[in-house]
Amino acid sequence: DIQMTQSPSSLSASVGDRVTITCQASQDISNYLNWYQQKPGKAPKLLIYDASNLETGVPSRFSGSGSGTDFTFTISSLQPEDIATYYCQQYDNLPPTFGQGTKLEIK
Protein backbone atom coordinates (compact mmCIF):
# COMPACT_ATOMS: atom_id res chain seq x y z
CA ASP A 1 0.00 0.00 0.00
CA ILE A 2 1.09 3.58 -0.60
CA GLN A 3 1.75 5.38 2.67
CA MET A 4 0.60 8.98 2.97
CA THR A 5 2.33 11.12 5.59
CA GLN A 6 0.83 14.44 6.60
CA SER A 7 2.50 17.18 8.57
CA PRO A 8 1.97 18.65 10.96
CA SER A 9 -0.38 16.35 12.89
CA SER A 10 -1.89 19.39 14.56
CA LEU A 11 -1.74 23.09 13.96
CA SER A 12 -2.89 26.18 15.84
CA ALA A 13 -3.37 29.41 13.89
CA SER A 14 -5.16 32.73 14.15
CA VAL A 15 -8.08 33.95 12.09
CA GLY A 16 -6.72 35.50 8.92
CA ASP A 17 -3.51 33.46 8.94
CA ARG A 18 -2.22 31.58 5.92
CA VAL A 19 -2.18 27.88 6.79
CA THR A 20 -0.23 25.19 4.97
CA ILE A 21 -0.42 21.41 5.36
CA THR A 22 1.85 19.00 3.53
CA CYS A 23 1.28 15.44 2.40
CA GLN A 24 4.03 13.11 1.22
CA ALA A 25 3.43 9.87 -0.64
CA SER A 26 5.71 6.84 -0.25
CA GLN A 27 5.95 6.63 -4.05
CA ASP A 28 5.11 8.70 -7.12
CA ILE A 29 1.35 9.18 -7.40
CA SER A 30 1.38 11.80 -10.18
CA ASN A 31 -1.46 14.19 -9.30
CA TYR A 32 -3.88 11.52 -8.04
CA LEU A 33 -4.50 13.22 -4.72
CA ASN A 34 -7.57 14.54 -2.92
CA TRP A 35 -7.99 16.75 0.14
CA TYR A 36 -10.91 16.42 2.57
CA GLN A 37 -12.21 18.47 5.49
CA GLN A 38 -13.82 16.67 8.41
CA LYS A 39 -15.62 18.54 11.16
CA PRO A 40 -16.34 16.79 14.48
CA GLY A 41 -19.12 14.24 14.21
CA LYS A 42 -19.48 14.76 10.47
CA ALA A 43 -18.47 12.90 7.34
CA PRO A 44 -15.46 14.12 5.37
CA LYS A 45 -16.11 16.66 2.65
CA LEU A 46 -14.19 16.70 -0.61
CA LEU A 47 -12.40 20.04 -1.11
CA ILE A 48 -9.68 19.44 -3.71
CA TYR A 49 -9.34 16.69 -6.33
CA ASP A 50 -6.53 15.88 -8.77
CA ALA A 51 -4.17 17.71 -6.37
CA SER A 52 -5.21 21.22 -7.36
CA ASN A 53 -8.80 21.32 -8.60
CA LEU A 54 -11.35 22.99 -6.35
CA GLU A 55 -14.57 21.04 -5.88
CA THR A 56 -17.70 22.97 -6.88
CA GLY A 57 -18.96 25.25 -4.12
CA VAL A 58 -15.73 25.20 -2.10
CA PRO A 59 -14.44 28.67 -1.16
CA SER A 60 -11.49 29.93 -3.16
CA ARG A 61 -9.38 30.45 -0.03
CA PHE A 62 -8.69 26.72 -0.23
CA SER A 63 -6.06 25.53 -2.70
CA GLY A 64 -3.82 22.58 -3.42
CA SER A 65 -0.62 21.99 -5.32
CA GLY A 66 2.05 19.42 -6.00
CA SER A 67 2.72 16.29 -7.99
CA GLY A 68 4.79 13.16 -7.69
CA THR A 69 5.35 12.58 -3.98
CA ASP A 70 4.99 16.02 -2.39
CA PHE A 71 1.76 17.94 -2.04
CA THR A 72 0.59 21.09 -0.28
CA PHE A 73 -2.83 22.22 0.92
CA THR A 74 -3.29 25.90 1.73
CA ILE A 75 -5.93 28.06 3.36
CA SER A 76 -5.09 31.61 2.31
CA SER A 77 -6.94 33.33 5.14
CA LEU A 78 -8.14 31.13 7.99
CA GLN A 79 -11.79 31.52 8.97
CA PRO A 80 -13.41 30.28 12.20
CA GLU A 81 -15.51 27.77 10.25
CA ASP A 82 -12.34 26.13 8.89
CA ILE A 83 -11.68 24.44 12.23
CA ALA A 84 -11.57 20.77 11.31
CA THR A 85 -9.29 17.86 10.59
CA TYR A 86 -7.91 17.70 7.06
CA TYR A 87 -6.97 14.50 5.24
CA CYS A 88 -5.15 13.78 2.01
CA GLN A 89 -6.01 10.65 -0.02
CA GLN A 90 -4.13 9.04 -2.89
CA TYR A 91 -5.95 7.17 -5.62
CA ASP A 92 -3.12 6.28 -7.94
CA ASN A 93 -2.86 2.73 -6.59
CA LEU A 94 -5.33 0.38 -5.00
CA PRO A 95 -6.22 0.37 -2.21
CA PRO A 96 -6.80 4.10 -1.93
CA THR A 97 -5.11 5.33 1.23
CA PHE A 98 -5.45 8.37 3.46
CA GLY A 99 -3.02 10.44 5.46
CA GLN A 100 -3.33 10.34 9.23
CA GLY A 101 -4.95 13.77 9.35
CA THR A 102 -4.04 17.30 10.44
CA LYS A 103 -6.14 18.81 13.21
CA LEU A 104 -6.49 22.56 12.77
CA GLU A 105 -7.36 24.71 15.77
CA ILE A 106 -7.86 28.41 16.32
CA LYS A 107 -5.20 30.15 18.41
Site of interaction with other proteins (CB under 8 A): 1, 34, 42-46, 49, 55, 87, 89, 91, 94-101
The nearer residue to other proteins, 80 or 95, going by C-beta atoms, is 95
For the chain, what is the total number of helices (H) and then of strands (E)? 0, 11
Which distant-in-sequence residues (6+ apart) come within 8 Å of 94 by Cβ? none
The nearer residue to other proteins, 1 or 70, going by C-beta atoms, is 1
The nearer residue to other proteins, 43 or 60, going by C-beta atoms, is 43
The Cα 71–Cα 15 span in angstroms is 24
| Residue 15 Cβ vs other proteins, minimum distance, rounded to whole Å | 26
| Residue 44 Cβ vs other proteins, minimum distance, rounded to whole Å | 6
Please count the other Cβ atoms lying within 10 Å of the Cβ belonging to residue 14.
9
